[in-house]
Amino acid sequence: MTVRLHSTLTKRREELVPGPDGTVRIYVCGPTVYGRIHIGNARPFVVFSVLKRFLARSGVRVKLVSNLTDVNDKIYDAARAEGVPSSELAARYSDAYIADTDRLGLGRPDAEPRVTESVPAIIDMIATLVDRGLAYAAEGDVYYRVARFPGYGRLSGRNLDDVISTEPGAGKESPLDFALWKGRKPDEDTWWDSPWGPGRPGWHIECSAMAEEALGHGFEVHGGGIDLVFPHHENEIAQSEGAHDGPMAQIWMHNEMLELGDEKMSKSLGNIAPLSDVLDRWPAEVVIAYFLTSHYRSRLPFSEERMAEAEGALARLANALRTLDRAIAGGSEDSHDADLSRTIVEGRDQFFRALEDDFSTPEAFAALFEMVRGTNRAVAAGTAGAAQLREARRELIELLDVLGIAGIDPGPADAVPDEVMALAHERQEARTARDFARADALRDRVRALGFEITDTADGPRVEPA
Protein backbone atom coordinates (compact mmCIF):
# COMPACT_ATOMS: atom_id res chain seq x y z
CA MET A 1 0.00 0.00 0.00
CA THR A 2 1.29 3.45 -0.96
CA VAL A 3 -0.62 6.36 0.54
CA ARG A 4 -0.09 9.83 -0.90
CA LEU A 5 -1.41 12.99 0.74
CA HIS A 6 -1.32 16.56 -0.49
CA SER A 7 1.15 18.57 1.57
CA THR A 8 0.55 22.28 1.92
CA LEU A 9 4.28 22.71 2.46
CA THR A 10 5.43 21.24 -0.88
CA LYS A 11 2.19 21.92 -2.79
CA ARG A 12 2.13 18.35 -4.10
CA ARG A 13 1.19 14.84 -3.06
CA GLU A 14 3.79 13.20 -0.87
CA GLU A 15 4.15 9.56 0.06
CA LEU A 16 3.16 8.87 3.65
CA VAL A 17 6.09 6.96 5.17
CA PRO A 18 5.61 5.54 8.69
CA GLY A 19 8.15 6.40 11.38
CA PRO A 20 11.10 4.17 12.32
CA ASP A 21 8.89 1.91 14.47
CA GLY A 22 6.24 1.60 11.76
CA THR A 23 3.82 4.08 13.35
CA VAL A 24 2.18 6.99 11.57
CA ARG A 25 2.00 9.84 14.07
CA ILE A 26 -0.64 12.50 13.43
CA TYR A 27 -1.09 15.78 15.29
CA VAL A 28 -4.23 17.83 14.65
CA CYS A 29 -4.90 21.28 16.08
CA GLY A 30 -8.09 21.14 18.12
CA PRO A 31 -10.47 23.88 19.27
CA THR A 32 -10.11 26.83 21.60
CA VAL A 33 -12.80 26.05 24.16
CA TYR A 34 -14.68 29.29 24.80
CA GLY A 35 -18.06 28.10 23.42
CA ARG A 36 -19.79 25.11 21.86
CA ILE A 37 -18.09 24.04 18.64
CA HIS A 38 -19.89 24.56 15.34
CA ILE A 39 -20.29 22.11 12.47
CA GLY A 40 -17.24 23.59 10.74
CA ASN A 41 -15.04 22.81 13.76
CA ALA A 42 -16.12 19.17 13.39
CA ARG A 43 -14.65 18.78 9.89
CA PRO A 44 -11.03 18.16 11.01
CA PHE A 45 -12.29 15.86 13.77
CA VAL A 46 -14.15 13.73 11.20
CA VAL A 47 -11.46 13.87 8.48
CA PHE A 48 -8.56 12.83 10.71
CA SER A 49 -10.58 10.31 12.73
CA VAL A 50 -11.57 8.55 9.49
CA LEU A 51 -8.00 8.86 8.14
CA LYS A 52 -6.87 6.99 11.24
CA ARG A 53 -9.56 4.32 10.72
CA PHE A 54 -8.47 3.82 7.11
CA LEU A 55 -4.78 3.52 7.97
CA ALA A 56 -5.46 1.17 10.87
CA ARG A 57 -7.70 -1.03 8.68
CA SER A 58 -4.86 -1.14 6.16
CA GLY A 59 -2.55 -2.60 8.79
CA VAL A 60 -0.69 0.58 9.78
CA ARG A 61 -0.12 1.52 13.42
CA VAL A 62 -1.46 5.04 14.01
CA LYS A 63 -1.22 7.46 16.91
CA LEU A 64 -3.60 10.41 16.62
CA VAL A 65 -3.17 13.40 18.94
CA SER A 66 -5.45 16.44 19.02
CA ASN A 67 -5.13 19.23 21.57
CA LEU A 68 -7.56 21.49 23.41
CA THR A 69 -6.57 25.11 23.92
CA ASP A 70 -7.98 25.89 27.37
CA VAL A 71 -6.21 29.17 28.16
CA ASN A 72 -6.47 32.01 25.68
CA ASP A 73 -7.53 35.65 25.28
CA LYS A 74 -10.91 34.53 23.91
CA ILE A 75 -11.46 32.38 27.00
CA TYR A 76 -10.61 35.28 29.31
CA ASP A 77 -13.05 37.51 27.41
CA ALA A 78 -15.88 34.95 27.45
CA ALA A 79 -15.36 34.24 31.15
CA ARG A 80 -15.48 37.93 32.02
CA ALA A 81 -18.69 38.31 30.01
CA GLU A 82 -20.26 35.44 31.98
CA GLY A 83 -18.78 36.53 35.32
CA VAL A 84 -17.10 33.16 35.97
CA PRO A 85 -13.45 32.10 36.43
CA SER A 86 -11.73 31.38 33.12
CA SER A 87 -10.75 27.88 34.32
CA GLU A 88 -14.41 27.09 35.02
CA LEU A 89 -15.53 28.27 31.58
CA ALA A 90 -12.72 26.37 29.84
CA ALA A 91 -13.53 23.16 31.74
CA ARG A 92 -17.21 23.46 30.87
CA TYR A 93 -16.62 23.88 27.15
CA SER A 94 -13.88 21.24 27.09
CA ASP A 95 -16.44 18.79 28.45
CA ALA A 96 -19.01 20.03 25.93
CA TYR A 97 -16.56 19.55 23.04
CA ILE A 98 -15.87 15.96 24.08
CA ALA A 99 -19.58 15.24 24.57
CA ASP A 100 -20.53 16.74 21.18
CA THR A 101 -17.82 14.93 19.21
CA ASP A 102 -18.50 11.68 21.09
CA ARG A 103 -21.96 11.74 19.50
CA LEU A 104 -20.32 11.21 16.10
CA GLY A 105 -19.35 7.70 17.19
CA LEU A 106 -15.83 7.87 15.70
CA GLY A 107 -13.96 7.29 18.95
CA ARG A 108 -11.46 9.61 20.61
CA PRO A 109 -7.91 10.53 19.56
CA ASP A 110 -5.20 8.54 21.33
CA ALA A 111 -4.26 11.63 23.33
CA GLU A 112 -5.96 15.00 23.86
CA PRO A 113 -3.45 17.22 25.70
CA ARG A 114 -4.59 20.49 27.20
CA VAL A 115 -2.49 23.61 27.43
CA THR A 116 -3.06 23.89 31.19
CA GLU A 117 -1.56 20.41 31.61
CA SER A 118 1.45 21.11 29.37
CA VAL A 119 2.90 24.36 30.72
CA PRO A 120 6.22 22.85 31.96
CA ALA A 121 6.96 21.49 28.47
CA ILE A 122 6.00 24.84 26.95
CA ILE A 123 8.33 26.73 29.30
CA ASP A 124 11.17 24.31 28.47
CA MET A 125 10.76 24.92 24.72
CA ILE A 126 10.68 28.69 25.18
CA ALA A 127 13.87 28.48 27.27
CA THR A 128 15.57 26.50 24.46
CA LEU A 129 14.59 29.16 21.92
CA VAL A 130 15.93 31.92 24.22
CA ASP A 131 19.21 30.01 24.66
CA ARG A 132 19.54 29.69 20.86
CA GLY A 133 19.01 33.40 20.34
CA LEU A 134 15.71 32.88 18.53
CA ALA A 135 13.65 34.41 21.34
CA TYR A 136 14.05 37.26 23.80
CA ALA A 137 12.38 38.51 26.96
CA ALA A 138 10.89 42.00 27.09
CA GLU A 139 8.92 43.50 29.98
CA GLY A 140 7.56 40.15 31.19
CA ASP A 141 6.77 38.83 27.70
CA VAL A 142 8.90 36.58 25.49
CA TYR A 143 8.95 37.04 21.70
CA TYR A 144 10.20 34.96 18.76
CA ARG A 145 12.74 36.65 16.47
CA VAL A 146 11.15 35.87 13.13
CA ALA A 147 13.96 37.38 11.04
CA ARG A 148 16.44 34.87 12.49
CA PHE A 149 14.55 31.85 11.18
CA PRO A 150 15.58 31.51 7.51
CA GLY A 151 12.64 29.41 6.33
CA TYR A 152 9.86 31.62 7.69
CA GLY A 153 6.99 31.88 5.19
CA ARG A 154 7.59 28.71 3.20
CA LEU A 155 4.39 27.00 4.39
CA SER A 156 2.09 29.91 3.56
CA GLY A 157 4.15 31.29 0.69
CA ARG A 158 4.50 34.71 2.34
CA ASN A 159 7.53 36.96 2.17
CA LEU A 160 8.85 38.64 5.31
CA ASP A 161 8.18 42.01 3.68
CA ASP A 162 4.48 41.14 3.66
CA VAL A 163 4.31 39.90 7.26
CA ILE A 164 3.41 42.06 10.23
CA SER A 165 2.36 40.44 13.48
CA THR A 166 -0.98 41.67 14.80
CA GLU A 167 0.14 41.04 18.38
CA PRO A 168 0.87 44.28 20.27
CA GLY A 169 3.90 44.49 22.53
CA ALA A 170 5.83 47.50 23.79
CA GLY A 171 9.09 45.58 24.06
CA LYS A 172 9.11 43.97 20.60
CA GLU A 173 12.29 44.35 18.58
CA SER A 174 10.39 43.98 15.29
CA PRO A 175 6.75 44.09 14.20
CA LEU A 176 7.38 40.61 12.70
CA ASP A 177 7.88 39.02 16.11
CA PHE A 178 5.18 37.04 17.90
CA ALA A 179 4.62 36.17 21.55
CA LEU A 180 5.77 32.90 23.10
CA TRP A 181 5.00 33.94 26.68
CA LYS A 182 2.57 36.66 27.73
CA GLY A 183 3.09 38.43 31.03
CA ARG A 184 0.12 38.35 33.36
CA LYS A 185 -2.35 41.22 33.14
CA PRO A 186 -4.25 42.27 36.29
CA ASP A 187 -7.59 40.84 35.12
CA GLU A 188 -6.22 37.43 34.01
CA ASP A 189 -7.04 34.79 36.60
CA THR A 190 -5.23 31.79 35.07
CA TRP A 191 -1.44 32.11 35.12
CA TRP A 192 1.85 30.35 35.95
CA ASP A 193 5.26 31.36 37.24
CA SER A 194 8.11 31.25 34.72
CA PRO A 195 11.75 32.40 34.41
CA TRP A 196 10.38 35.57 32.79
CA GLY A 197 7.73 36.31 35.40
CA PRO A 198 4.08 35.27 35.91
CA GLY A 199 2.00 34.76 32.80
CA ARG A 200 0.78 32.15 30.34
CA PRO A 201 1.77 30.70 26.95
CA GLY A 202 1.18 32.37 23.62
CA TRP A 203 -1.14 30.53 21.24
CA HIS A 204 1.44 29.15 18.80
CA ILE A 205 4.05 27.74 21.20
CA GLU A 206 1.56 25.50 22.94
CA CYS A 207 1.01 23.26 19.89
CA SER A 208 4.75 23.00 19.19
CA ALA A 209 5.36 21.83 22.74
CA MET A 210 2.34 19.52 23.00
CA ALA A 211 3.06 17.88 19.64
CA GLU A 212 6.66 17.21 20.63
CA GLU A 213 5.70 15.94 24.07
CA ALA A 214 3.14 13.49 22.62
CA LEU A 215 4.81 12.45 19.35
CA GLY A 216 8.43 13.58 19.38
CA HIS A 217 10.02 15.84 16.77
CA GLY A 218 9.72 14.94 13.09
CA PHE A 219 6.40 13.11 13.09
CA GLU A 220 4.53 12.10 9.96
CA VAL A 221 1.40 14.29 9.58
CA HIS A 222 0.42 17.66 11.00
CA GLY A 223 -3.23 18.45 10.32
CA GLY A 224 -5.82 21.12 10.84
CA GLY A 225 -8.07 23.58 9.08
CA ILE A 226 -6.73 25.63 6.16
CA ASP A 227 -7.35 28.79 8.19
CA LEU A 228 -4.48 27.77 10.51
CA VAL A 229 -1.76 27.82 7.82
CA PHE A 230 -0.89 31.42 8.69
CA PRO A 231 0.11 32.46 11.21
CA HIS A 232 -0.43 29.45 13.51
CA HIS A 233 1.24 26.65 11.57
CA GLU A 234 3.86 28.93 10.08
CA ASN A 235 4.83 29.91 13.62
CA GLU A 236 4.80 26.31 14.80
CA ILE A 237 7.38 25.44 12.16
CA ALA A 238 9.58 28.36 13.23
CA GLN A 239 9.36 27.34 16.89
CA SER A 240 9.81 23.58 16.54
CA GLU A 241 12.49 23.69 13.87
CA GLY A 242 14.21 26.53 15.70
CA ALA A 243 14.45 24.34 18.79
CA HIS A 244 15.47 21.17 16.90
CA ASP A 245 17.20 20.03 13.75
CA GLY A 246 15.06 18.65 10.92
CA PRO A 247 11.44 19.19 9.88
CA MET A 248 8.66 19.33 12.45
CA ALA A 249 6.40 17.12 10.31
CA GLN A 250 6.76 15.31 7.01
CA ILE A 251 3.33 16.22 5.61
CA TRP A 252 1.17 19.26 6.38
CA MET A 253 -2.42 18.24 5.65
CA HIS A 254 -5.19 20.86 5.74
CA ASN A 255 -8.94 20.55 5.29
CA GLU A 256 -10.90 23.38 3.68
CA MET A 257 -13.51 25.49 5.42
CA LEU A 258 -17.29 25.22 5.55
CA GLU A 259 -19.30 28.13 4.23
CA LEU A 260 -22.77 29.62 4.52
CA GLY A 261 -23.60 31.51 1.35
CA ASP A 262 -20.40 33.20 0.17
CA GLU A 263 -18.75 33.41 3.61
CA LYS A 264 -16.68 30.92 5.55
CA MET A 265 -18.38 29.67 8.71
CA SER A 266 -16.83 31.22 11.84
CA LYS A 267 -17.77 32.29 15.34
CA SER A 268 -16.39 35.77 14.69
CA LEU A 269 -18.84 36.25 11.80
CA GLY A 270 -21.69 34.80 13.85
CA ASN A 271 -22.83 32.51 11.01
CA ILE A 272 -22.47 29.23 12.80
CA ALA A 273 -24.52 26.06 13.26
CA PRO A 274 -23.55 24.40 16.56
CA LEU A 275 -22.59 20.75 16.12
CA SER A 276 -24.91 19.78 18.96
CA ASP A 277 -27.89 21.37 17.16
CA VAL A 278 -26.99 19.66 13.88
CA LEU A 279 -26.76 16.29 15.65
CA ASP A 280 -30.16 16.91 17.26
CA ARG A 281 -31.63 17.13 13.75
CA TRP A 282 -29.59 14.58 11.81
CA PRO A 283 -28.15 11.15 12.70
CA ALA A 284 -24.39 11.05 13.24
CA GLU A 285 -23.94 8.91 10.12
CA VAL A 286 -25.59 11.61 8.00
CA VAL A 287 -23.25 14.27 9.43
CA ILE A 288 -20.22 12.06 8.69
CA ALA A 289 -21.48 11.33 5.17
CA TYR A 290 -22.02 15.06 4.61
CA PHE A 291 -18.31 15.64 5.23
CA LEU A 292 -17.01 12.58 3.41
CA THR A 293 -19.03 12.84 0.20
CA SER A 294 -16.91 15.94 -0.53
CA HIS A 295 -13.12 15.93 -0.76
CA TYR A 296 -11.45 17.26 2.38
CA ARG A 297 -9.62 19.94 0.34
CA SER A 298 -12.86 21.24 -1.20
CA ARG A 299 -14.75 24.21 0.20
CA LEU A 300 -17.98 22.73 1.53
CA PRO A 301 -21.32 24.59 1.67
CA PHE A 302 -23.51 23.85 4.67
CA SER A 303 -27.23 23.75 3.85
CA GLU A 304 -30.37 21.70 4.26
CA GLU A 305 -29.97 20.54 0.67
CA ARG A 306 -26.44 19.22 1.26
CA MET A 307 -27.52 17.41 4.42
CA ALA A 308 -30.49 15.90 2.57
CA GLU A 309 -28.14 14.71 -0.19
CA ALA A 310 -26.01 12.96 2.42
CA GLU A 311 -29.12 11.42 3.95
CA GLY A 312 -30.16 10.21 0.49
CA ALA A 313 -26.77 8.59 -0.09
CA LEU A 314 -27.09 6.68 3.17
CA ALA A 315 -30.67 5.69 2.31
CA ARG A 316 -29.37 4.04 -0.89
CA LEU A 317 -26.87 2.07 1.14
CA ALA A 318 -29.47 1.12 3.74
CA ASN A 319 -31.86 0.00 1.00
CA ALA A 320 -29.13 -2.21 -0.46
CA LEU A 321 -28.51 -3.85 2.91
CA ARG A 322 -32.24 -4.39 3.38
CA THR A 323 -32.52 -5.95 -0.08
CA LEU A 324 -29.63 -8.27 0.77
CA ASP A 325 -31.22 -9.23 4.10
CA ARG A 326 -34.46 -10.12 2.36
CA ALA A 327 -32.71 -12.19 -0.33
CA ILE A 328 -30.51 -13.97 2.22
CA ALA A 329 -33.55 -14.95 4.28
CA GLY A 330 -35.37 -16.46 1.30
CA GLY A 331 -32.59 -17.75 -0.95
CA SER A 332 -30.79 -21.02 -1.46
CA GLU A 333 -27.22 -21.41 -0.24
CA ASP A 334 -25.23 -22.64 -3.18
CA SER A 335 -25.84 -20.44 -6.25
CA HIS A 336 -22.83 -18.40 -7.35
CA ASP A 337 -22.73 -15.25 -9.48
CA ALA A 338 -19.28 -14.70 -11.02
CA ASP A 339 -20.12 -11.10 -11.98
CA LEU A 340 -21.05 -10.29 -8.38
CA SER A 341 -17.78 -11.77 -7.10
CA ARG A 342 -15.84 -9.65 -9.57
CA THR A 343 -17.83 -6.52 -8.66
CA ILE A 344 -17.14 -6.97 -4.94
CA VAL A 345 -13.41 -7.56 -5.41
CA GLU A 346 -13.04 -4.64 -7.82
CA GLY A 347 -15.16 -2.40 -5.62
CA ARG A 348 -13.05 -3.11 -2.55
CA ASP A 349 -9.85 -2.42 -4.50
CA GLN A 350 -11.30 0.81 -5.91
CA PHE A 351 -12.40 1.86 -2.40
CA PHE A 352 -8.92 1.53 -0.91
CA ARG A 353 -7.17 2.99 -3.98
CA ALA A 354 -9.36 6.08 -3.62
CA LEU A 355 -8.35 6.57 0.01
CA GLU A 356 -4.70 5.93 -0.81
CA ASP A 357 -4.85 8.73 -3.41
CA ASP A 358 -5.03 11.88 -1.26
CA PHE A 359 -7.80 10.42 0.90
CA SER A 360 -10.48 10.76 -1.78
CA THR A 361 -13.57 9.84 0.21
CA PRO A 362 -15.97 10.84 -2.63
CA GLU A 363 -14.33 8.22 -4.85
CA ALA A 364 -14.59 5.72 -1.99
CA PHE A 365 -18.34 6.36 -1.90
CA ALA A 366 -18.48 5.86 -5.67
CA ALA A 367 -16.87 2.43 -5.17
CA LEU A 368 -19.51 1.56 -2.58
CA PHE A 369 -22.31 2.45 -4.97
CA GLU A 370 -20.75 0.29 -7.71
CA MET A 371 -20.87 -2.59 -5.26
CA VAL A 372 -24.49 -1.77 -4.42
CA ARG A 373 -25.44 -1.83 -8.09
CA GLY A 374 -23.83 -5.25 -8.35
CA THR A 375 -25.66 -6.68 -5.35
CA ASN A 376 -29.01 -5.25 -6.50
CA ARG A 377 -28.52 -6.78 -9.97
CA ALA A 378 -27.64 -10.19 -8.53
CA VAL A 379 -30.64 -10.15 -6.19
CA ALA A 380 -33.02 -9.13 -8.98
CA ALA A 381 -31.64 -11.87 -11.26
CA GLY A 382 -31.67 -14.48 -8.51
CA THR A 383 -28.20 -15.66 -9.54
CA ALA A 384 -26.44 -15.44 -6.17
CA GLY A 385 -27.01 -17.80 -3.27
CA ALA A 386 -27.43 -16.81 0.37
CA ALA A 387 -23.82 -17.65 1.24
CA GLN A 388 -22.45 -15.37 -1.48
CA LEU A 389 -24.88 -12.59 -0.56
CA ARG A 390 -23.86 -12.84 3.10
CA GLU A 391 -20.23 -12.39 2.04
CA ALA A 392 -21.16 -9.37 -0.12
CA ARG A 393 -23.03 -7.86 2.81
CA ARG A 394 -20.05 -8.46 5.11
CA GLU A 395 -17.75 -6.68 2.65
CA LEU A 396 -20.09 -3.69 2.44
CA ILE A 397 -20.35 -3.39 6.22
CA GLU A 398 -16.58 -3.61 6.59
CA LEU A 399 -16.04 -0.73 4.15
CA LEU A 400 -18.81 1.32 5.72
CA ASP A 401 -17.07 0.83 9.06
CA VAL A 402 -13.84 2.25 7.64
CA LEU A 403 -15.78 5.46 6.95
CA GLY A 404 -17.47 5.38 10.36
CA ILE A 405 -20.98 4.86 8.98
CA ALA A 406 -21.57 1.14 9.55
CA GLY A 407 -24.24 2.09 12.09
CA ILE A 408 -26.79 2.98 9.41
CA ASP A 409 -29.99 1.10 10.15
CA PRO A 410 -31.43 -0.80 7.18
CA GLY A 411 -34.59 -1.58 9.16
CA PRO A 412 -36.55 -4.83 8.99
CA ALA A 413 -35.96 -7.01 5.94
CA ASP A 414 -39.65 -6.75 5.00
CA ALA A 415 -39.73 -2.93 5.18
CA VAL A 416 -40.48 -1.19 1.90
CA PRO A 417 -37.73 1.27 0.89
CA ASP A 418 -38.64 4.85 0.02
CA GLU A 419 -37.32 4.24 -3.49
CA VAL A 420 -39.85 1.43 -4.03
CA MET A 421 -42.74 3.44 -2.60
CA ALA A 422 -41.84 6.33 -4.92
CA LEU A 423 -41.99 3.97 -7.93
CA ALA A 424 -45.31 2.57 -6.74
CA HIS A 425 -46.72 6.09 -6.40
CA GLU A 426 -45.42 6.99 -9.87
CA ARG A 427 -47.06 3.82 -11.27
CA GLN A 428 -50.40 4.79 -9.71
CA GLU A 429 -50.19 8.21 -11.34
CA ALA A 430 -49.47 6.53 -14.70
CA ARG A 431 -52.52 4.27 -14.28
CA THR A 432 -54.70 7.25 -13.41
CA ALA A 433 -53.47 8.92 -16.61
CA ARG A 434 -54.24 5.64 -18.46
CA ASP A 435 -50.61 5.31 -19.48
CA PHE A 436 -50.65 1.55 -18.97
CA ALA A 437 -47.40 0.85 -20.80
CA ARG A 438 -45.54 3.11 -18.37
CA ALA A 439 -47.43 1.62 -15.42
CA ASP A 440 -46.37 -1.88 -16.47
CA ALA A 441 -42.75 -0.76 -16.87
CA LEU A 442 -42.77 0.75 -13.39
CA ARG A 443 -44.26 -2.45 -11.95
CA ASP A 444 -41.39 -4.38 -13.56
CA ARG A 445 -38.88 -2.04 -11.91
CA VAL A 446 -40.52 -2.64 -8.53
CA ARG A 447 -40.36 -6.41 -9.12
CA ALA A 448 -36.68 -6.12 -10.00
CA LEU A 449 -36.12 -4.61 -6.58
CA GLY A 450 -37.81 -7.60 -4.92
CA PHE A 451 -41.33 -6.23 -4.32
CA GLU A 452 -44.80 -6.88 -5.72
CA ILE A 453 -47.64 -4.41 -6.18
CA THR A 454 -51.17 -5.69 -5.58
CA ASP A 455 -54.06 -3.45 -6.66
CA THR A 456 -56.89 -3.46 -4.10
CA ALA A 457 -60.11 -1.52 -3.55
CA ASP A 458 -58.22 0.58 -1.00
CA GLY A 459 -55.39 1.31 -3.40
CA PRO A 460 -52.12 -0.43 -4.30
CA ARG A 461 -50.41 -2.58 -1.65
CA VAL A 462 -46.64 -3.05 -1.83
CA GLU A 463 -45.08 -6.15 -0.26
CA PRO A 464 -41.86 -8.16 -0.57
CA ALA A 465 -42.12 -10.61 -3.45
377 Cβ contact partners less than 8 Å away, ≥ 6 residues apart: 339, 340
Alpha-carbon distance of 47 to 31, in angstroms, equals 15
Q: According to the model, what pLDDT value does residue 334 have?
A: 82
Domain ranges of the chain: 4-281, 304-402, 418-464
184 Cβ contact partners less than 8 Å away, ≥ 6 residues apart: 140, 191, 197, 198, 199, 200
pLDDT in tens, the chain (465 residues): 899 999 999 999 999 999 999 999 999 999 999 999 999 999 999 999 999 999 999 999 999 999 999 999 999 999 999 999 999 999 999 999 999 999 999 999 999 999 999 999 999 999 999 999 999 999 999 999 999 999 999 999 998 877 766 677 778 999 899 999 999 999 999 999 999 999 999 999 999 999 999 999 999 999 999 999 999 999 999 999 999 989 999 999 999 999 876 555 555 545 579 999 999 999 999 999 999 999 999 999 999 999 999 999 998 999 899 989 989 987 777 899 999 999 999 999 999 999 999 999 999 999 999 999 999 999 989 999 999 999 999 999 999 999 999 998 787 766 777 778 888 889 989 998 999 999 999 998 888 776 789 888 767 888 766
Q: Are 185 and 169 in contact (CB under 8 A)?
A: no
Q: Are 15 and 2 in contact (CB under 8 A)?
A: yes
Q: According to the model, what pLDDT value does residue 268 have?
A: 53
386 Cβ contact partners less than 8 Å away, ≥ 6 residues apart: 327, 328, 329, 331, 332, 333
What is the dotted CATH code of the domain comprising 304-402? 1.20.120.640
Q: Are 29 and 228 in contact (CB under 8 A)?
A: yes
Q: Is 128 helix (H, G, I), strand (E, B) or coil?
A: helix
Q: According to the model, what pLDDT value does residue 423 have?
A: 87
Instruction: Note the pTM of the prediction, 2 decimals.
Output: 0.89
The domain over range 4-281 is classified in CATH as 3.40.50.300 = no
CA-CA distances (angstroms) from residue 173 to 169, 388, 457?
Answer: 9, 72, 89
Alpha-carbon distance of 92 to 89, in angstroms, equals 5
